[in-house]
């Protein structure tokens, strides 16, 4: 599949530091606007309040009005980003702009916040009962030496219940500001017209200017390790491993990390899936992917019957050591490049895919040109390029946890 070498993107800097980007795509008569707001989270109280704020936005009267016209509204927090999306037919452009404006300039009542607190607390209780949430928390805590509040996939229910309307107003004032935020518009509408409508509607959006965004959190331990976490009675164990990927000096490094993740565990034909899932039947769900939290990282996941965890860990040690030492074969490289570039081509050609890629540029510290630069860089990669990226998956670089009924597990793995 041929990846586009260019695409239409009009970008404009608005008052207050907001960056607006619009791209025309007439595949469907729709227009989608995605707002990404960075969150310099400092405390767990911030995280809990932001989760409640997103629930307040979901039930906002402006969102209900758009939905009555057939529109769709979604809002959620992803680590250090608040993501708000509105979608409707392109003839509703003014309504889309007004909806976003009313939400980011809203005022909160005790009734609205109380209803949101009850909803989020219930969801947090359900999240606490999920082994996947527990193991993810433990993995990031092992990686950083503590659990950063933004890395926790869910606040605790007791933290949510303490959130007040004053806290919601405070986090809105501090975090919901145009500076460093990005608005991506994709759909069947003239880009300049889209930018004009949204820039005019958002002209009065202001906020507390807290200065530059904080830098990446330091990783606490220079010597990574994989430890056991005992959860009595669990029949399935979650293996969660993470390693810092090669630092980015350019798009080529990002592309090499993506290809390395794809070869190691990004598809059913990848090494981890072939060995753990197909050859030995150790895990139905296992994967290795690239992720971004402060920096590019590799994350390896496998859910394994507790009695067979030592066997799975031996295979993971061998697979990561071999991959880090030799890198991919030429056939594996070719397959991964084709898969990744095919995904970019499909996403660039669809409205939802293109706007999601533009949001990913914001949340992963990439320029808008990355949507075509990454596939081009991927196509130029050599086996040696990817081997350098794969070296960061070596067992000696991995941190993580093995979370399950660990009574007979070693305290420390490889």
Q: Which of 359, 25, 60 is nearest to 194 (CA)?
A: 25
- Averaged over 380-409, what is the pLDDT? 96
The 3-state DSSP class for residue 157 equals helix
- Averaged over 251-258, what is the pLDDT? 97
For 398-409, what is each residue's pLDDT tens digit? 999 999 999 999
Query: Are 282 and 276 in contact, with CB atoms under 8 Å apart?
Result: yes
Check residue 213 and give its pLDDT.
75
The 3-state DSSP class for residue 288 equals strand
Mean of the per-residue pLDDT values of the chain: 93
Check residue 232 and give its pLDDT.
96
Q: 20 pairs with which residues across the strands?
A: 12, 183
The Cα-based distances of 260 to 113, 289, 399 in angstroms read: 44, 9, 18
The Cα-based distances of 40 to 82, 165, 210, 214, 259 in angstroms read: 11, 20, 9, 7, 30
Q: 227 pairs with which residues across the strands?
A: 401, 412
One-character DSSP codes across 66-130: HHHTT-EEEEEEETTEEEEEEEEEGGGHHHHHHHHHHHHT----HHHHHHHHHHHHHHHHHHHT-
Please check the confidence at residue 216 and state whether its pLDDT lies above 90: no
Confidence of residue 268 (pLDDT cuts 50, 70, 90): confident
Check residue 5 and give its pLDDT.
58
For 132-180, what is each residue's pLDDT tens digit? 999 999 999 999 999 999 999 999 999 999 999 999 999 999 999 999 9
Please check the confidence at residue 222 and state whether its pLDDT lies above 60: no
The residue assigned the tokens 């109280």 is: 45
The residue assigned the tokens 């295979």 is: 315
- Averaged over 72-90, what is the pLDDT? 95
- Distant-in-sequence, close-in-space partners of 74: CB < 8 Å, separation ≥ 6: 83, 84, 85
The pair of structure tokens assigned to 174 is 């501090």
What global pTM score does this model have?
A: 0.91
- Distant-in-sequence, close-in-space partners of 55: CB < 8 Å, separation ≥ 6: 115, 116, 117, 119, 120
């Amino acid at each position: 599949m041929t990846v586009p070498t260019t695409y239409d993107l009009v970008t404009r800097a608005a008052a207050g530091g907001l960056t607006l980007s619009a791209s025309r795509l007439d595949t469907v008569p729709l227009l989608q606007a995605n707002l990404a707001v960075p969150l310099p989270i400092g405390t767990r109280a911030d995280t809990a309040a932001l989760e409640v704020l997103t629930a307040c936005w979901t039930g906002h009267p402006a969102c209900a009005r758009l939905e009555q016209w057939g529109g769709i509204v979604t809002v959620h927090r992803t680590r250090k980003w608040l993501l708000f999306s509105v979608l409707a037919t392109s003839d509703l452009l003014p309504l889309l702009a007004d909806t976003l404006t009313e939400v980011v300039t809203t005022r909160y009542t005790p009734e609205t916040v109380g209803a949101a607190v009850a909803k989020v607390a219930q969801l947090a209780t359900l999240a606490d009962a999920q082994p996947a949430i527990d193991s993810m928390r433990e993995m990031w805590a092992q990686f950083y030496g503590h659990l950063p509040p933004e890395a926790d996939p869910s606040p605790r229910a007791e933290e949510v219940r303490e959130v007040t309307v004053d806290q919601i107003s405070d986090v809105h004032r501090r975090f919901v500001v145009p500076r460093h935020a990005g608005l991506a518009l994709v759909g069947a509408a003239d880009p300049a017209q889209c930018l004009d409508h949204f820039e005019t509607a958002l002209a009065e959006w202001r906020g507390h200017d807290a200065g530059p965004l904080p830098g990446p959190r330091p990783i606490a331990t220079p010597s990574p390790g994989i430890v056991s976490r005992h959860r009595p009675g669990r029949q399935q164990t979650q293996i969660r491993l993470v390693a810092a990927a090669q630092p980015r000096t350019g798009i080529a490094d990002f592309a090499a990390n993506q290809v390395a993740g794809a070869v190691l565990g990004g598809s059913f034909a990848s090494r981890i899936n072939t060995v753990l899932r197909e050859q030995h039947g150790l895990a139905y769900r296992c994967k290795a992917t690239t992720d971004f939290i402060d920096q590019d990282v590799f994350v390896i996941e496998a859910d394994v019957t507790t009695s067979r965890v030592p066997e799975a860990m031996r295979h993971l040690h061998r697979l990561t050591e071999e991959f880090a030492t030799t890198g991919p074969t030429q056939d594996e490289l070719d397959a991964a490049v084709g898969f990744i570039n095919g995904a970019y081509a499909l996403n660039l050609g669809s409205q939802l895919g293109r706007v999601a890629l533009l949001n990913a540029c914001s949340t992963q510290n990439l320029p808008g040109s990355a949507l075509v630069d990454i596939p081009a860089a991927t196509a130029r990669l050599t086996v040696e390029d990817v081997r350098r990226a794969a070296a960061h998956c070596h067992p000696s670089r991995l941190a993580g946890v093995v979370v399950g009924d660990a009574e007979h597990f070693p305290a420390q793995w490889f």
